[in-house]
Structure 1
């Protein structure tokens, strides 16, 4: 399975409090997202405000993409949502 992450800006969804970012799995686009709570709890976002979670995502993008890659390898070409609880048990 070939997985890559286009270097596009993550999109904030205020209604769901998530940042969405794309992955390419065997050439097909798959949506990945991380909750603002996970960014606050595990990646240093100062608040759930868009600019704070965007900044935390960009600073920690490689680690977040690595976690998304792990989930995609387990789930296949299905959308991924990374919650704070995932990172409590995540073993790099």
Structure 2
């Protein structure tokens, strides 16, 4: 499975408190999301405001994409939501 991440600006959802970003899996676009909670707990976002979430995403994009790549592999490239608990589990067990 080949997974790449286009360098697009994530899309903020104030209603869901998430950032949506695309992945390309074997040439197919898959929408992925990360929650405000995950960004606050693991990537230094000060709040669920768009500025704080986008800043944390930008600063830690490589780590977020690595965790997302693992989750996409585990779910057969289904649409994924990266939550705080998964990031904690991923970083404790697989991060190099």
**By the TM > 0.5 criterion, same fold?**
yes
Cα deviation for residue 82 of structure 1 reads 0.5
Which residue number in structure 1 is paired with residue 62 of structure 2? Answer: 62
Please provide the CA RMSD for this pair. Answer: 0.7
**In the comparison of the two structures, how many residue pairs are matched?**
92
Give per-residue Cα distances to partners, 1:42-75, cap 9 Å, x unaligned: 1000111110010000000000000000011111
The answer to whether the aligner puts 1:48 opposite 2:14 as a matched pair is no
Alignment of 1:22-37 (within 5 A): 22-37=22-37
Cα deviation for residue 84 of structure 1 reads 0.7
**What is the SS of the residue equivalent to 2:53?**
helix
Cα deviation for residue 87 of structure 1 reads 1.7
Structure 2 runs not aligned, ≥5 long: none
Structure 1 runs not aligned, ≥5 long: none
- Which shifted more, 82-91 or 66-75? 82-91
Give per-residue Cα distances to partners, 1:3-41, cap 9 Å, x unaligned: 000000000011100000000000000011100110001
**What is the SS of the residue equivalent to 2:12?**
strand
The answer to whether the aligner puts 1:13 opposite 2:27 as a matched pair is no
